[in-house]
Structure 1
Amino acid sequence: MTKVKVIDSLMGTGKTQYAIQHMNEANPLEKFIYITPYLAEVERILENTDRTFYAPNNSNKDGSKMRSLKEMIVDGKDIVSTHSLFQTADDELIELLTDSGYTLILDEVMDVIEKAPVTNRDITDLIRLGHIEVENNRVIWTCEDYDAQAAYSSVMMLARAGNLFYHRGRFLIWAFPPQVFRLFDDVYILTYLFDAQIQRYYFDLYGFQYEYHAVEYHDGKYELIEYDKTKESRKELYELMNVYEGKLNDIGGATNAFSATFLKRMSAEKEEEVRNNIYNYFRNKLNAKVAEILWTTVKGEHELVRKGLAGKGYGKSFLQCNARATNEYQDRWALAYVFNRYMNPIERSFFEDNGVSVNQDLLAVADLLQWVYRSRIRNGESIKLYLPSSRMRGLLKDWSENKI
């Protein structure tokens, strides 16, 4: 079984540079697939490696990047692509990767589970019709002659791949096909605080083995070293943050303040108070310009929250709270993280019901640090940070003191 090598180092310690160096020094007969979150990072790999990498494109008969990716694998090319494309892996891609001899380098963890777009009524109907059975939470497709073009064909494909789970009698949960990771000769994951990441819980669920390393720059070269969190420069990084302490934090005293549920259920008056606090912080406390600001709140399905909190003078300086691996904002110094991160309850209960324990506090800190590191702190420069959630401030302090 493939053992995953997790390079778990603070942001800015050279994980990507190590990966580039490793690929440049590898035997020319070795083949790499490098997966990164953003197109800008795809360009970085194309421009900074000595090997000839190729990025999938739409210039094929299907007009499909996935078709392009598959053709490149057949040709044995070195490939760089995005998480979003890799996440759509299907049976044909799995077949092509089998015994292909590729090494996978995954820059930052992926979204490896999500709720399937199927209603509880759909699930009930499928069970009643005898199309599916549930064994130890896993959905088994039992209808042999089901039309591949019919309504539940997507459920059929996911179930047949062994990646669909029936959760608490209410939800179908999709999981990225774990066999994909087992098809590579080697797998590297470049991240920080992997212990907190959903992909780690996913690996535990499927019985993967993984080993931890860190990276450091020594004598003109990046080297893998023994992982030891006590040797990280946490205190120094924390001292660069200048976390706001004052009356604008009064609104976040409760443990659940600024959680997704809290934000979604805010009254118009509470929303206005939060918006005024953010404006006050940026304008009156810092006198920051729009081009110097970054702020965030809960993402995705709670888009109305973002719109409600976006105020004059800072609204357009929004960066999603799960941002990683981009240096586009490295000149920003005035930050507001208006969110109290908890794992999605469906995801949490899914793992816990399957015997995998999760660490919500470490997850919250991991996401906060990744977001903060998009700013100029990545260049060793100090920032100002408004963190109205008392829980998030406490967790950040505990992290800096190696308590979590």
Structure 2
Amino acid sequence: MNFNCNVNIVDAIMGAGKSQSIINHINASGVENKFLVITPYLDEVDRYKKYCPSKHFKAPKFEKNQTKLDDIKKMIDKGENIVSTHALFQKFDNELIDICRASNYTLVMDEVANVVDEYSLSKQDFTLLTNTYVDINHKTKQLIWKEKYKDYSGKFDNEKRLCELGSLVCYGDNLMVWLFPIETFNSFRNIYILTYRFDLQLQKYYYDYYRLPYTYLSVVGNSMDTYQLSAYDKNQNKPKYDYRKLIHICDLEKLNMIGDREHDLSKTWYFRNKGNSTMQVLKNNISNFFRHIRCDNSSDNIWTTFKDYKSLLKGKGYTRGYLPLNSRATNEYKKRTSVVYPVNRYLNPFVKNFFLTNNIDIDEDGYALSEMLQFIWRSAIRDGNEIWIYLPSVRMRGLLEQWISENSAI
């Protein structure tokens, strides 16, 4: 595939000024430059509206008989500067891809997107689909909907839509993987992705799978007015703080013994123990940490778990401090000082094996570390303030301790 998009990875630690540097870049651009900004949360939508007044950013909205997807198409046709969420970005269709390609927009993504997942279909349906309705590209394994069934409507409507987007790829004899349509990225001439440790994230592996090239950029400056993008310099990523003095990891054996083994507190572990007393022990440990070890207010707490198990771990005094496990970008909790991260992260085995079989090197510990740091940096550590964290997984605790040792200012 030929790519004509210039992809820039603005790679710097959370709180280093990535968002402000791109805001300053947008404000310094000419009136002829149009931007589509994609951010995880609605409060960040308001931020771009506020700090880029000359660009008159607008957000797609629902109107009578019109979806947000319909609205964004109209807005691009009008040449508006647009800010929206990742949720809408995931819904791009071929019409919108064509509109973006013709309109010369710059794409800004605050944090990476969800770009790969397993796609479940019964063996019987897979056989019917592949024997009747699709061809399979023998080189790329991509499913291609047959032209003679272009007017098809029925059971495989969603598969037809995904095939037309180039999003379904065979994996093994009767399995499929969903890939975010790469043509969405290729419909923009310039792309800026704001994140930390892109080299450890799924979107990096996805780009490598497609052989899409990208360039790293750094952030320079020390205040909102002076933050700006610059050529990549690894020295710019040097830590500003001595995290050894700021991040206090709970080392109480009684609380940590629940995660003593390498795979304890993984998603598989949660599934295995959801119906027994082990989950109650973990819940008691979380409560003990917040109520008796930290002795703080509920407004000081943040915690998480795998979403299917939130109801089993929520408790009096801390339930409202829950954040989804994949939380990124939001600054709403940056004054909170007590953090509980009772999970052990691993790549989806299906996704992991898909990349490995396509000769894409992955770093599973690096992925786990990257996901954990994104969550922890929702807290007060973001501004260089002390935090206390309960991290019962021996594996995750070791990854964080190693990162602190290697990334603390001397």
Q: TM-score range by the shorter chain?
A: over 0.9
The question of whether the paired residues in 2 share the 8 Å contact of 1:258 and 1:338 is answered with yes
Distance 1:62 1:355, change over 3 A: farther
Q: 1:3: which partner in 2?
A: 6
Distance 1:231 1:173, change over 3 A: closer
Distance 1:118 1:329, change over 3 A: same
**Pairing 1:289–2:289 present:** no
**Pairing 1:261–2:264 present:** no
Q: Give me the identity figure in percent.
A: 36
Distance 1:365 1:160, change over 3 A: same
TM-score, length basis structure 2: 0.92
The question of whether the paired residues in 1 share the 8 Å contact of 2:25 and 2:229 is answered with no
Distance 1:231 1:89, change over 3 A: closer
The 5-angstrom pairing of residues 1-400 of structure 1 reads 1-50=4-53, 51-59=55-63, 62-129=65-132, 131-133=134-136, 135-136=138-139, 137-142=141-146, 144-218=148-222, 220-225=225-230, 226-228=232-234, 231-233=237-239, 236-247=242-253, 248-266=255-273, 267-299=275-307, 303=308, 305-400=309-404
Structure 2 portions without partners, runs of 5+? none
Shift of 1:167: 1.8
Shift of 1:235: 6.2
Q: Structure 2 CA distance, aligned partners of 1:41 and 1:4?
A: 22
Q: Structure 2 CA distance, aligned partners of 1:55 and 1:332?
A: 30
Q: Structure 2 CA distance, aligned partners of 1:81 and 1:27?
A: 21
TM-score, length basis structure 1: 0.93
Q: Structure 1 CA distance, aligned partners of 2:217 and 2:336?
A: 30
Shift of 1:130: 5.3
AA aligned to 1:123 is F
The question of whether the paired residues in 1 share the 8 Å contact of 2:302 and 2:339 is answered with yes
The question of whether the paired residues in 2 share the 8 Å contact of 1:20 and 1:48 is answered with yes
Shift of 1:132: 4.1
Return 114-123 or 372-381, whichever deviates more: 114-123
Q: Structure 2 CA distance, aligned partners of 1:14 and 1:133?
A: 45
Moved over 6 A (4+): none
Q: Structure 2 CA distance, aligned partners of 1:143 and 1:231?
A: 50
Provide the aligned C-alpha RMSD in A: 1.9
Structure 1 portions without partners, runs of 5+? none
Residue deviations 1:19-65, cap 9 Å, x none? 11000000111111111011111111111113111111112x53210
AA aligned to 1:264 is F
Q: Structure 1 CA distance, aligned partners of 2:134 and 2:77?
A: 35
Q: Structure 1 CA distance, aligned partners of 2:329 and 2:287?
A: 28
The question of whether the paired residues in 1 share the 8 Å contact of 2:13 and 2:237 is answered with no
Residue deviations 1:338-371, cap 9 Å, x none? 0011111111112112221211111111111111
Shift of 1:376: 1.6
3-state SS of paired residue (1:311): coil
Equivalent residues, number: 398
Shift of 1:337: 0.1
Return 226-235 or 332-341, whichever deviates more: 226-235
Residue deviations 1:269-309, cap 9 Å, x none? 2111111111111111111222211111123xxx1x22112
Q: Structure 2 CA distance, aligned partners of 1:168 and 1:191?
A: 32
Q: Structure 1 CA distance, aligned partners of 2:213 and 2:349?
A: 26
Q: Structure 2 CA distance, aligned partners of 1:401 and 1:230?
A: 18
Shift of 1:238: 4.6
